[in-house]
Structure 1
Amino acid sequence: MNDTLVRLAITQSELFPDWPDEAIARLVAHAVVLVVEPGTCVARAGDPAKYLTILAAGSMHLTREMSSGRTFTAGLHLAGEFHALGLVLSQAQHFYNATCKEKAVLVRIPGELLREMIASNGRLSFSLFAAQERRHFRALKLHASAAVDTIQARVAGLLTSIKARSVSGRDGSGVNLSQDEIATMLGTRRQVVNRALRDMAAEGVIRVEYGRILILDNDKLAQMVSDPN
């Protein structure tokens, strides 16, 4: 059962679309499955990055404790996405705490194995770097929107991005982020996000629940991104 889950997670990941069968078989043979309960921190800032992690199920929140005592939410990984690729390749330390706020299933690939395989065949790195570049461009787009978009458009853009990455990006799907987390990800205050969410809820686009935003109308949400006025 675990071998099947590991193989599915690896072969369906955007990291390994062109890897040959023998390379995939090595990854599957050395990967391990980790089932974690809600609230489990699977990587702490400052710890060495030993594993590339693929989320087979659940989600992973990236946070960092600031000197002010506040918690900064840097991002969110969803089912099917990967974590710590760059850190593993560069043999660096984790910069954020990675916490699974819901029950999650993780597939872990030893970083030492990944580095050895890439060193033996540099062509294997192409798809890894392409996936990392796509993630970088998503972050740049989110950063650029802060200079030109209204807060409602920025909130809508963040929810749209998460929905598009989710395996269930349909009407009625939810985003497991609190208003505080959305505010820190957008670099603004909770009160500002709260007003935008109230307006969006009044238009029937979303419903705000505790620690969760339920998306009711994908079309209206997309319109808010492209035409915030």
Structure 2
Amino acid sequence: MAQIANHRNTVASHQIVNSNAIAALRMKGDVAYDALQHRPVAPRALAGLHGHHPQHNGLLAALPEADYARLSQHLEFVDMPFGTTICEAGEQMQYVYFLTSSIVSLLYETADGASSETAVIGYEGIVGADVFMGGGASLHRAFVKSAGYGFRIKASILNEEFARGGALQQLLLRFTQALFTQMAHTVACNRHHTIVQQLCRWLVLSLDRLPGDKISMTQDLIANMLGVRRESVTEAARKLQDEGLIQYSRGQITVLDRDGLEAHICECYAGIKKVYEGLLKN
């Protein structure tokens, strides 16, 4: 709980690339100057800045060209440092976040401060499904567990786009169904399966959203997200390390044998993976 608790009151203070970035790019000759300096930077300018583009997000990449062009006008590029709290449970979300390289954990917290992770979101999805599903207020605390970048859009604008129907609405509804499926499997796994199985599921779900085989995370934070004692995570991690599946050192886990990890995982991961693989196929 220690490190997460330190960030409880850290509301997302994202660095929005706006007029300053446009001015800098103008000097470099990378993009034509736009007199409307206060509107979000165009996606092509952002790609030049950080090597990131909105279509690195799976949902945005799957949109028809016309829908994407209309939506992209309203996107703002954001830096998402580790430990940032995007929103607290019960807060009205002002923005919805399309993730590209960051990973966000959705946490459910009890009145006495205990918490557990109910879902993890990466480049395949968005943070803020509560907005277009009619609630507006977040049901979870959204916590950046792996630093990276993303794009945000005002909740009011996304709601207008969602109301149009069409491809965006269908994609967002399918993602929400996949998210609910992940939550259901997570609840069942945390209740019925061993700590080793839970840890393997957690590691592989993180790997699915990372470009490499390294996960920066302390055992304290993992224990908090799984809702178990730190000693249980230490014992499970030691077992996996003794089997040559992972290497753990100073808050960094290196996965040496993903297939070996998957051999330990219960059926929960397969159920989650199947739904997410079908998310963008249609």
TM norm structure 2: 0.67
Q: Is contact 1:57–1:80 with CA below 8 Å preserved after alignment?
A: no
Which contiguous aligned blocks of 4+ residues in structure 1 show a shift greater than 6 angstroms? none
Alignment partner, residue 153 of structure 2: 109
Cα distance change of structure 1 residues 121 and 97 upon mapping to structure 2, 3 Å threshold: closer
Aligned partner of residue 202 in structure 2, secondary structure? helix
Alignment partner, residue 22 of structure 1: 66
The alignment status of 1:214 with 2:258, answered yes or no, reads no
Alignment partner, residue 86 of structure 2: 42
The counterpart of 1:186, out of the listed 215, 226, 243, is 226
The alignment status of 1:196 with 2:236, answered yes or no, reads yes
Superposition RMSD on alpha carbons, in Å? 3.0
For 1:101 and 1:152, how far apart are their aligned partners in 2? 20
Please report how far the alpha carbon of residue 45 of structure 1 lies from its aligned counterpart in structure 2 after TM superposition.
3.1
Please report how far the alpha carbon of residue 200 of structure 1 lies from its aligned counterpart in structure 2 after TM superposition.
0.8
- Gaps (5+ residues) in structure 2? 1-24, 26-40, 268-282
Please report how far the alpha carbon of residue 77 of structure 1 lies from its aligned counterpart in structure 2 after TM superposition.
3.0
For 2:263 and 2:174, how far apart are their aligned partners in 1? 29
Structure of larger gyration radius: 2
Report % sequence identity. 23
How many residues are paired up?
Answer: 223
Alignment partner, residue 182 of structure 2: 138
Aligned partner of residue 19 in structure 1, secondary structure? coil
Cα distance change of structure 1 residues 120 and 63 upon mapping to structure 2, 3 Å threshold: closer
For 1:145 and 1:184, how far apart are their aligned partners in 2? 15
Please report how far the alpha carbon of residue 69 of structure 1 lies from its aligned counterpart in structure 2 after TM superposition.
3.8
The counterpart of 2:264, out of the listed 203, 224, 227, is 224
Bigger mean CA deviation after superposition, 66-75 or 113-122: 66-75
Q: Is contact 2:56–2:123 with CA below 8 Å preserved after alignment?
A: no
Read off the aligned partner of 1:192 and give its amino acid letter.
S
TM norm structure 1: 0.80
Q: Is contact 2:146–2:216 with CA below 8 Å preserved after alignment?
A: no
1:86-108: per-residue Cα shift (whole Å, max 9, x none)?
33442422233333355432200
Structure holding more strand per residue: 1
